[in-house]
Structure 1
Amino acid sequence: MPTSFNETVIEEFRANEGKVGGPFEGGDLLLLTTTGARSGTQRTTPLGYVRHGGLILLVGSNLGAPSHPGWYHNLLAHPVVRVEIGTRTFQALAVPAEGDRRDELFAHAVRSAPGYGDYQARTTRLLPVVVLERADPDGWQGPGEVRTLADKVMEVHTWLRGQLREVAAEVEAHFAERAAHRGPGEPPAPSLGLQIRQRCLAFCQALEFHHTSEDGHLFPGIARYHPHLGDTFARLADEHRTVARIQAALVELLAGIGIAEPARFRSELVRMSAELNAHLDYEEETIVPLLAEVPWPPVPPVPPASAPGGDGGDGAGRGDGDGAGSA
């Protein structure tokens, strides 16, 4: 049985293809699942949202309270979130808008739902506006159909390379904009913005998950059938450790809301690009061909026949909190 207002709304949402009654009746409602900033536990919150062209916007109003809602702090720590709208479920990259873009999107949100203006009037904090972008290696459609484990590994590699290129392009665009500034007014802030931070943090977390899965499952499974490749797996493991050290340096630089040391971040990103691309090239040369005959998704094992007569085979301001109605 549901034990809170949020749980009641979530249960009704999922039972009625995204339609609910009460205070949300007739409005645009989604379910946002974030990962707790401190606990690492998944938490689902029903939130109102606003569409702006092809964008989905969330406003961190917390009903005008003085602190940001818990889900906002959670997505700053873990930018990849799960979104449910109607009967659709997908992963998204959560990117808070900044500066003039934030003001433009907030003005649109107020035109669509004037209550957001009332919430802003109740508090001195600037209500964050979060843009949800479709972006994840499992939901992303790469080139060609995925039929084998080799295809799947290549799909993830292509996604990782693409995300790294996108972060690098955004960083270079920031430096180019500063270099080209001739006034009047101030040049772009030296600290890199939230969009770069969120995209890079999501990339680092996806890369860590990918390499952990390879070290824990994929590589040991292949090694059992190809014991002569011991040196190859030793080299791949060493490269994983090298990439992990660079990744840790990047994550350390991402610890704040902005990236306070853009020049250092840029140099670490260049180092990551070189090391990771060389690693992926080597893995694709030595390991991926061995996976070309392994079907994907895996074929489930046939269960044994059953015997005769048997039965068969965080609080607001710190993250983690759900906060009813904290859109």
Structure 2
Amino acid sequence: MPSAFQQSVIDEFRANAGKVGGPFAGSDLLLLTTTGARTGQPHTTPLGHVRDGERLLVVGSNLGAPHHPDWYHNILARPAVQVELGTEKFDTIAVPAEGPRREELFARVVAESPGYADYRAATERVLPVVVLPLPAPRTPAPEVTSLAGKLTEVHVWLRGQLAQVHTETEAHFAARAAHQGAGAPPPPGLGLQIRQRCLAFCQALEFHHTGEDGHVFPAMEGYHPHLRHVFDRLRDEHRSIAAVQSALAELLADAAIAEPDRFRAELTRMTEQLTAHLDYEETEILPLLADVPWPPVS
């Protein structure tokens, strides 16, 4: 729960299109809603931010306290967050910066908000700099009016996130391979970025499959008992994919990704399994959902 003071700032922010008075008058604020690492409950925190191109930068200063703020621990456990900026609200993936990139971005923050230099001087810990990518401009998607459309929308997002994981992984490995000269390669600039996106993808996939197994499939079986074998196969595939996700999570415990060949092999195996699963589900399930309205009619 936010403190009484934080809650008053949150309420004022939402009531005034992102503008607040008092000690934050004129400040660039956003509201960051994370999911509790231990509780699984949503937590909203007002934070100062600096806009840097198509991303927002927030700092885990905790006012110079010796420990990281709770919201930072939350994003390491559950990277998918919601941001409120003025009247806009969007979902994104929170990614802490690493190594030289973190130094560069912190300098960018201090140049615009010098008070963060005071917070840095007040503590021995390294203040995390977290990147919140802004949503990319896109052509408005067709309105989703059926459960088939909603399922397709989710599948498109999952495929896109998995493709991004591949892209970022290859960029990371290319940077490591390009290192020349004596000594160890520089710290990976994409290690945490890959971890955060993989984690967000796996958590979204788990949520999606749990919803299907617990609600969607049982309801559909009642109407289509002759397709029990289809639902049984999909549930079996959910368990297989979950096992692959667990293997990836173990690899990601080392943000430096010390075993790139094994990581690539696991990621490729997961991609092939997941793509085949989504293809099969769309072939068998989408036609059955075309006439089911979305959002559900109460």
TM-score between the two structures when normalised by the length of structure 1: 0.83
> Paired residue for 1:21?
21
> Paired residue for 2:94?
94
Relative contact order: is structure 1 or structure 2 higher (C-alpha 8 Å, sep ≥ 6)?
1
CA distance in 1, matches of 2:199, 2:3: 34
With 183-192 and 96-105 compared, the bigger mean Cα shift is at 183-192
> Paired residue for 2:291?
293
Write the letter of the residue equivalent to 1:231.
Answer: H
> Paired residue for 1:207?
205
| Contact residue 92 and residue 135 of structure 1 kept, 8 A | yes
CA distance in 1, matches of 2:22, 2:187: 44
Please state whether the residue corresponding to 1:131 is helix, strand or coil: strand
1:233 to 231, 234, 241: 231
Is residue 110 from structure 1 mapped to residue 98 from structure 2 by the alignment?
A: no
| Contact residue 120 and residue 126 of structure 1 kept, 8 A | yes
CA shift for structure 1 position 104: 1.6
Flag structure 1 segments of 5+ consecutive residues without an equivalent. 302-327
CA distance in 1, matches of 2:35, 2:189: 26
Write the letter of the residue equivalent to 2:266.
Answer: E
Identity score, percent: 65
Flag structure 2 segments of 5+ consecutive residues without an equivalent. none
* Change beyond 3 A, Cα 1:8–1:118: same
CA distance in 1, matches of 2:189, 2:107: 25
Please say which structure displays the higher CA radius of gyration.
1
Cα RMSD for the two superposed structures = 2.4
CA shift for structure 1 position 264: 3.1
> Paired residue for 1:274?
272
Is residue 149 from structure 1 mapped to residue 147 from structure 2 by the alignment?
A: yes
CA distance in 2, matches of 1:190, 1:55: 20
> Paired residue for 1:315?
none
Matches within 5 A, 1:59-208: 59-134=59-134, 144-183=142-181, 186-189=184-187, 193-208=191-206
CA distance in 2, matches of 1:106, 1:193: 18
CA shift for structure 1 position 294: 2.0
TM-score between the two structures when normalised by the length of structure 2: 0.91
> Paired residue for 1:46?
46
| Contact residue 191 and residue 260 of structure 1 kept, 8 A | no
State the Cα deviation string for residues 149-182 of structure 1 (Å, max 9, x = none).
Answer: 2121111111111111111122122223333433
| Contact residue 56 and residue 132 of structure 1 kept, 8 A | yes
> Paired residue for 1:56?
56
| Contact residue 56 and residue 134 of structure 2 kept, 8 A | no
> Paired residue for 1:216?
214
CA distance in 2, matches of 1:190, 1:267: 20
Write the letter of the residue equivalent to 1:112.
Answer: E
CA distance in 2, matches of 1:135, 1:76: 20
| Contact residue 37 and residue 77 of structure 2 kept, 8 A | yes
State the Cα deviation string for residues 199-241 of structure 1 (Å, max 9, x = none).
Answer: 0000000000000111111111221111110111111111011
CA distance in 2, matches of 1:191, 1:103: 11
CA shift for structure 1 position 147: 2.7
| Contact residue 61 and residue 120 of structure 1 kept, 8 A | yes
